[in-house]
Structure 1
Amino acid sequence: MASEAGEAGARGSGSRRVRLDPERIVDALLELARREPHERLTFKRIGEELGVDATAMYRHFRNREAMTQAALDRLNRLSVEAGQAVPGGWRARLEAHLLATAELYLTYPALGAEGAVIDPAGPGDAAAVEFLLEVLHEAGLEGGALVRAYAAVSGFALSFSAAMAHEVMRGGEEEAGSEPWITSFGSAHLPDYPLLDANRDALFALSGMDVYRAGIAALLDSVERQGIEHAEADR
């Protein structure tokens, strides 16, 4: 009976049969995440988008988390492709990959908001880890230094990108990534904090993406210095 229900669900509300597979479901999930940035994605909503009963999707994904993993894995693959497409050395490719990660999370915020807590555990995820290790190794790192740099870069990119996506999910009206990093210091008497007071305009002008870019630059500067130090130590 469950099989019959699944077959019926895959036929949708009319007589035309809807062919479901994991790729098509992920396509629909991404389209909804882009079109409805403030909504949490559910089997029911995706079933409506595809014109099938939600139960039909359980033949391909055991639960919502498994479906989200597959979609995040797709985003990982796309961010790797963005990095690989950039000509030049390790730094240009790594920066492009990290910026693509944030841009994809902001394009599909309902997914991106979960990117730091759900492990995709798929080929796209493996490709992203391999890509990071590859460019960091090209920068001159190996062994423990390589793994620590991977942890710092990956952790920063995923957590910060997910946080920005979460801000979009909260319903901010600003363009994704342009939300102010600091909006107010409340009742604080700013002259009591002379450096803050002197730089207040520049601080208030910072957006979330400005902070993300600054973090990337600082991390990559550190990787570059470590690479130079390793090269000099080997001479």
Structure 2
Amino acid sequence: MAKTEPGAATGARTRRPRNSLNPDAIVEAAVRVTDRDGIGALTFEALGRELGSHPTAIYRHFRDKDELVRALVDRINAEAQLDGLPQTDDWQADLRRIAAAIHRAFLAHPAVAQLLPARTAAREHEFVTVEYIVSCMRRAGLPDDEAAACYRVFADFVLAYAGMDAALAALAPSTREAELLTWDVDYRRLPPERFPHAAATAEHFPRLDDPRNFALAVDLMIEAVAARATARRAGR
């Protein structure tokens, strides 16, 4: 007998009772589908099979796929907040905390996370993230206009970097390994007479998937915010 793949529809599969769906169940099913099969597999038909429901039942909760994707964005935001976002007396540590939490959530769901940097959920967990980062900028000593501008740049940077790392993680294993190998092999073979600086430092290039890359980038951003706040307090 042929083995049935997870989520595949069969005649023997028990269907959900009518009107038993809710938005949370649909979003959790969407996470399972994208984690397992990739974002391209996310259709209402696939969700119907995953949930044991007719696809039209999903339209009672999400009018289209775009609205569902927005809910997925906020689902990842919620996962980033699972360990809590305590506000301490160290705004720099708080920024590192939220950045690391977002990065972890992205890498836990790389298929859908690739969509997140360019999407706005406009839902509760996104509002919580915005509030937390803006509070850090104000506690750094920035006036409100600078706090808002630095929030935008810092948040977009974290989302973009986390999305890039998620895109790398979502590649097929063979493709991902080829990307990583390029930096270990090809760059170390650069002719120094043509690329003197790259050739001199090639052996020190971190791997693309080294988590210290993201941590260093966040530190550099925070140092820039701190320097800007200091300059503003000095009246420059």
Question: Given the two structures, how large is their TM-score scaled by the length of structure 2?
Answer: 0.79
Distance 1:190 1:181 in 2: 17
Distance 1:142 1:163 in 2: 31
Report the CA distance between 1:58 and its aligned residue. Answer: 0.7
8 Å Cα contact 1:140-1:226 kept in structure 2: no
Kindly provide the CA deviation profile for residues 156-176 of structure 1, in whole angstroms up to 9, marking residues without a partner as x.
Answer: 11112122222233323699x
1:90 aligns with 2:99: no
Amino acid at match of 1:84: L
Distance 1:126 1:143 in 2: 17
User: Which position in structure 2 is the counterpart of 1:22?
Assistant: 23
Report the CA distance between 1:30 and its aligned residue. Answer: 2.1
Distance 1:181 1:58 in 2: 45
1:71 aligns with 2:72: yes
Kindly provide the CA deviation profile for residues 103-145 of structure 1, in whole angstroms up to 9, marking residues without a partner as x.
Answer: 1111112210100222212122222111110111111112322
Amino acid at match of 2:134: L
Which consecutive residues of structure 2, in runs of 5 or more, have no partner in the other structure? 1-11
Amino acid at match of 2:170: M
User: Which position in structure 2 is the counterpart of 1:214?
Assistant: 216
Report the CA distance between 1:94 and its aligned residue. Answer: 1.2
User: Which position in structure 2 is the counterpart of 1:132?
Assistant: 133
User: Which position in structure 1 is the counterpart of 2:230?
Assistant: 228
Report the CA distance between 1:179 and its aligned residue. Answer: 5.3
Alignment of 1:38-53 (within 5 A): 40-53=41-54
8 Å Cα contact 2:117-2:159 kept in structure 1: yes
Distance 2:65 2:175 in 1: 29
Question: Given the two structures, how large is their TM-score scaled by the length of structure 1?
Answer: 0.80
Distance 1:197 1:15 in 2: 61
Identity %: 21
Indicate how the Cα distance of structure 1 residues 15 and 165 shifts in structure 2: closer, same or farther if over 3 A, else same.
closer
Distance 2:15 2:66 in 1: 30
Alignment of 1:117-196 (within 5 A): 117-172=118-173, 182=183, 184-185=186-187, 188-196=190-198
1:102 aligns with 2:103: yes
Amino acid at match of 2:14: G
